[in-house]
Structure 1
Amino acid sequence: MSLITLTTDFGIKDHFVGAVKGAIYSELPDAKIVDITHSISPFNITETAYILKNAYKSFPKNTIHIVGVDSELSVENKHIAILLDDHYFICPDNGLISMIASEIQPTKIVEINIHNHISTSFPVLDVFVKVASHIARGGSLNVIGKEITDYKKLIEIQPKTNQRQTIIKGGVLYIDNYGNVISNIHKRFFQKIGKGRPFVVSAGRYRFKKIFNRYNEIVDLTLPEEKRQYDGEKLALFNSAGFLEIAIYRSNLGTVGGASTLLGLQYRDTVTIEFEEIVKPEFIPIT
């Protein structure tokens, strides 16, 4: 039985998702299809990269991941199939794979070339499904495309630091279902640059001097329960995926609102961390 996942910006109102699933079952009646999400913001590549990176690792090896976001074929947006971390990804070469491939080198990449025999305005249905079915039957990647060695990099996924390594400059990568604002600054990068130095996180007009590892760490458990009034408090933390997140504790989008709304933070807004600079003492030679 083949396991195939779908990640798209199709939504669920239209026929697109149903048509793709129907085409897969027509090719592979025993396939198992899992929806990662169909609620990606339209054409949002970085959002796709973040969700896919954090979802695919939970699936077994040899899972086939079809990614349909910004998938229209063009000279600048080719289609690729990748074997990476023992998983197969069928997707446009628009940079979305770079968040995963930045940590794990792909085993093989091919540029899909079966378009020569297919005229389509719906490549996820007409091309990606055929490629996934070929892989599921044990077919070689070389049959559906020519091997290439590189893929498009998404530069905005990577945070930057200055020469003195006193500042990390990142940005808002994703806003989740709770309205929490997730940056592209990973805990490993923070620790590598910061080296334990005091710091200030700046997000919009707000400043944070502490980063938590869990939401409820903001609660002072030494206080009596009736005095713990932390709902709606803003905090910075490293989320379960290891990325720096700005959140509102126990936010409710229907009443209080999330961090994105209350703090005025949106996709691509700047998030910076400024570290205390270590000043080396000057030694005056004794004469």
Structure 2
Amino acid sequence: MAILTLTTDYGDKDYYVGALKGALLASNPSLNIADISHQIPPFDIVHAAYVVKNAYSFYPKDTLHFVGVNNQNPEEEDFILARLGDHWILAPDNGLVSLISSDGIGEVFRYLKKNHQWSSFHESIGWMVAKFFSSPPPGEYSEAVSSMNNAIALTAIGGENDIRGAIVHIDNYGNLVSNIHRDLFQEVCQQRAFEILLKPHLTVNAVLNSLAGVPVGDTFALFNAAGFLTFGVCMGDGSTLHGISKGSTLQIKFRP
């Protein structure tokens, strides 16, 4: 079964997604298409990587995941196929793939498109997807490459008595997702008391297991399903209410 997921910054107000799906089905009528998201902020490869990284593994093995974000001219720019475990990522070579996984990428192939002409970028993507499902790479449509463009991701830093991190994602509910993973937190915490400084005069002193029993309007901290420390306001928009945006820094101080 040929399964393709779509993650783009195309939005849903225009014809772009509909035209893309039409071109994909014209190239492969038996294709099974699943939408991950078309609401990625324009050109935001960090946001796209976060979404795909936390969704792709739920699909069956050998699924192809197309990530169309910050691709200005698909007919001419380089696109790559990258193996990620039992899955494949198809994306422009703009650093996005490196943000999805910094150490889990296997084989990488670059599409060969010099002798092809398309009437639209939708058709060029349809061609790339059809070629992938018609025969495994490299085939006659791609070549193996030893490197790809890399982007630098914000990384949380743990010390003896503190962790410094940043807000890297704001979800649909206004929750603030940091780059501090549960593993790093537990490694540094060692069951010590702590204080999380989100901004001056805004601190959190506990990480919850769930939102059960949290009063409406209270600020909370918990690890989300992906394992990252997340902050929010119960039944409210934490980003707006606290004036915290993506890129804001935070610090966790642990009792010596």
TM-score (norm 2): 0.89
Q: Could you tell me which residue of structure 2 aligns to residue 106 of structure 1?
A: 105
Report the CA distance shift for 1:146/1:275 in structure 2 as closer, same or farther (over 3 A). farther
Q: Could you tell me which residue of structure 1 aligns to residue 211 of structure 2?
A: 215
For residue 4 of structure 2, give the secondary structure of its aligned residue in structure 1: strand
Unaligned runs of 5+ in 2: none
Q: Could you tell me which residue of structure 2 aligns to residue 85 of structure 1?
A: 85
Shift of 1:83: 1.3
In structure 2, how many angstroms separate the alpha carbons of the residues matched to 1:193 and 1:110? 39
Q: Could you tell me which residue of structure 2 aligns to residue 261 of structure 1?
A: 240
Q: Could you tell me which residue of structure 2 aligns to residue 166 of structure 1?
A: 161
Structure 2 residue aligned with 1:236, among 221, 234, 237?
A: 221
Contact 1:73 1:79 in 2 (8 A): no
In structure 2, how many angstroms separate the alpha carbons of the residues matched to 1:78 and 1:200? 46
Unaligned runs of 5+ in 1: 220-229, 252-257, 278-287
In structure 2, how many angstroms separate the alpha carbons of the residues matched to 1:94 and 1:160? 26
Q: Could you tell me which residue of structure 1 aligns to residue 133 of structure 2?
A: 136
Report the CA distance shift for 1:179/1:11 in structure 2 as closer, same or farther (over 3 A). same
TM-score (norm 1): 0.80
Structure 1 residue aligned with 2:253, among 264, 267, 274?
A: 274
Contact 1:5 1:36 in 2 (8 A): yes
Shift of 1:262: 0.4
| 1:182-241: CA deviation from partner (whole Å, max 9, x where unpaired) | 11111112222333333221212311121112222x54xxxxxxxxxx101001110111
| 1:224-276: CA deviation from partner (whole Å, max 9, x where unpaired) | xxxxxx1010011101111111111122xxxxxx0000011111111222233
In structure 2, how many angstroms separate the alpha carbons of the residues matched to 1:146 and 1:196? 50
Contact 1:99 1:157 in 2 (8 A): no
Which AA in structure 2 matches 1:234?
T
Structure 1 residue aligned with 2:115, among 109, 114, 117?
A: 117
Q: Identity rate of aligned residues, in percent?
A: 34
Contact 1:214 1:239 in 2 (8 A): no
Report the CA distance shift for 1:70/1:119 in structure 2 as closer, same or farther (over 3 A). farther
Q: Could you tell me which residue of structure 1 aligns to residue 230 of structure 2?
A: 245
